Amino acid sequence: MSQTYPIGGGKGGSGKSFITANLGVLFAKQGKKVVLVDLDLGGSNLHTFLNLRNPERGLNDFLNKDCKNLDDVAVPTAIPNLSLISSTNCSHEIGNLFHTQKLKIIRAIKDLSYDYTLLDLGAGTIFNVLDFFLISNEGLFIITPEPTSIENTFQFIKAVYLRKIKQVLKQRAFNTFVKKLQTTTNKSIIRSPMELVEMVSKYNPERGKRLQDELEKFEFTFIINQFRKETDVTMGSKIEKLCNKHFFANFQFLGNIRYDERVHDSIYSRSIYMNKYPYSITAVDLQNVAGKITKIHQHHALQSVT
């Protein structure tokens, strides 16, 4: 069964690309067929984490129709079973993707037939990022234990929710409900997507129910990256509790990934961290996280069979 994991988290520099690359390496070493897609459009550097200087093919060849299938632009990496779809050879304006191009990419990603498809997303909450994140219900958030990162993560989650609500309700109904909520609460902006869900449920229970069902399908996971020894160890479980209580969805904490100076060394020397330091504490943490994801994956596979 193929599984797509969008990897996002709002804040830049939290380690999304690093974790995408190294989780990809770990899954590939399990013997799974893995593809990494660099969707940090306009800021792509996933190839550097995998020690590929200039991938000869990439997303650009797919967008300008040189290659028909997205699969054709995937390039192999030094790791067997692991390929990369890079966006480094795209134009400098790729950050402002056209709507039709975005839809084309999303459709093509859904058609990829790998065991694992990992999407490395950019920072921020622009629609492109949100829509890529919503390709699958199994989004993975990367958080670092700093106020700024946590703040951005919650902004990102809320933005993802609002985007999803918009997708389910369709534009017009979404706008009407937003207006209604603005007038009843006397607020100019909608900060909490949950209020909107409640609003919909109140005026149109059937639609509200459908919306809630749709949101409950989310099975988000998150990782705390750059975990240092002075960090509160209960932080992950607290965030998990908080999200499960206040969003209509399932959030699962996958674990802490400890901070390691050598991550920087490996980036400087453009080598694959997992290969260079396979026994460091950070590598062990990554392995644990990969193991947990594999378990969830197997669980899903079992469920889809029965």
Partner 1 sequence: MKKYEELNYYEALEIPFGASPFEISQAYKDALSIYNEDSLITYSFFDESERGLILKKIEKAFLTLIDPIERGKYDRMLVRTGEADESILIKKDRKKPISLFQGNHPKNRGLHLKKIRKKVEAEDMKTLSKEIITGDVVSGADLKKLRESVGIDLEEIFEVTRINIPILKSIEENEFEKLPPIIYLKNFLKSYSDTLQLDSNTIIDGYIKNMTRHRESA
Site residues (CB under 8 A) for partner 1?
A: 145, 147, 150-151, 154-155, 191-192, 194, 198, 212, 216, 232, 234-235, 238-239, 241-242, 245-246, 248-249
Q: Which is nearer to partner 1, 72 or 216 (CB)?
A: 216
Cα–Cα distance for residue pair 155/159, rounded to 1 Å: 6
- Amino acid sitting at position 256: N
Q: Which is nearer to partner 1, 72 or 232 (CB)?
A: 232
Give me the least distance between CB of 217 and partner 1, in Å please.
12
Q: Which is nearer to partner 1, 158 or 297 (CB)?
A: 158
Q: Which two tokens stand for residue 251?
A: 């959030």
Q: Which is nearer to partner 1, 238 or 299 (CB)?
A: 238
Contact 247/161 with Cβ under 8 angstroms? yes
Region of residue 173 (left: phi > 0; alpha: psi -120 to 50; beta: else): alpha
Q: Which is nearer to partner 1, 63 or 239 (CB)?
A: 239
Give me the least distance between CB of 114 and partner 1, in Å please.
32
- Amino acid sitting at position 61: D
- Residue 271's Cβ-count burial label (10 Å; 0-12, 13-18, 19+) is middle
Q: Which is nearer to partner 1, 49 or 222 (CB)?
A: 222
- Residue 207's Cβ-count burial label (10 Å; 0-12, 13-18, 19+) is middle
- Residue 269's Cβ-count burial label (10 Å; 0-12, 13-18, 19+) is exposed
Give me the least distance between CB of 240 and partner 1, in Å please.
10
The torsion angles phi and psi of 295, rounded to 5 degrees, stand at -60, -45
